[in-house]
Amino acid sequence: MKNSILKLITATFIALAPLTAVAQSNVAHINVQQLISEMPEVIAAQNELAKLEKDYTTQIDNAFKEFQTKAQSYSSDAANQTDVTNQARQKELESMQTNLQEFRDSAAQELQKKQMDLMTPLLEKARDAITKVGKEQGFNYVIDSSPNGGIILADGKDLLADVKKALGF
């Protein structure tokens, strides 16, 4: 009896072994972070964003220097001015400080919006290319093998080179 159960279990494993091999061959992986970081369009978008960020930073730095210069000038000259003049200067400095903070916030929002506008179509393009290449090569599943991508072992077919080729780089 034990012998026949053992034979049945062995026969079951032998019968299912080809199915397991077929199922495993339908899974591939790709490091999506690496793909995106190497896409020429993404590199160009990142350069454009870096330039825009540098421009905003320069404007903010210049406005802050102007604020500091004015604050120092008003502070050193405060003893020679009337209370009304000093109060007006204080209000002017507060207004400058508020405007500077508003510009800083606006610049950050515009930079974030620009990033979304530039990157969203590129991320969709990469996803479409991964789907296309995966389907063309007969894979049922393509797993993101990026760090923290939810995979521990990636021994399947790596589509990175093929997707780069499909994207033309």
Question: pTM of the predicted model, to two decimals?
Answer: 0.72
Domain contains 5: no
What span, in angstroms and rounded, lies between the C-alpha atoms of 66 and 74? 12
Whether the per-residue pLDDT at 71 is higher than 50: the answer is yes
Domain contains 3: no
pLDDT of residue 111: 97
Domain contains 47: yes
Whether the per-residue pLDDT at 69 is higher than 90: the answer is yes
| Residue-number span of the structural domain to which 45 is assigned | 23-167
What span, in angstroms and rounded, lies between the C-alpha atoms of 93 and 82? 17
**pLDDT one-digit tens code per residue, 119-159:** 999 999 999 999 999 989 988 889 999 988 777 566 678 89
Domain contains 13: no
Q: Per-residue pLDDT averaged across 36-57, rounded?
A: 97
Domain contains 107: yes
pLDDT of residue 33: 94
pLDDT of residue 156: 79
Sheet holding 157-158, edge to edge: 141-144, 27-30, 157-158
What span, in angstroms and rounded, lies between the C-alpha atoms of 20 and 14? 10
Domain contains 15: no
- Contact, 92 vs 129, CB < 8 A? no
Domain contains 80: yes
* Domain count across the chain: 1
**pLDDT one-digit tens code per residue, 96-107:** 999 999 999 999
Nearest to residue 104, comparing CAs of 39, 149, 68, 59? 59
φ and ψ at residue 26, rounded to 5 degrees: -95, 15
- Contact, 97 vs 123, CB < 8 A? no
Nearest to residue 5, comparing CAs of 38, 118, 13, 36? 13
Domain contains 18: no
Nearest to residue 53, comparing CAs of 8, 118, 143, 125? 118
How many angstroms separate the Cα of 26 from the Cα of each of 2, 20, 136, 140, 147? 36, 10, 12, 5, 22
* Structure confidence at residue 8 as a pLDDT band (50, 70, 90): very low
Task: Tell me the one-letter amino acid at 106.
Answer: S
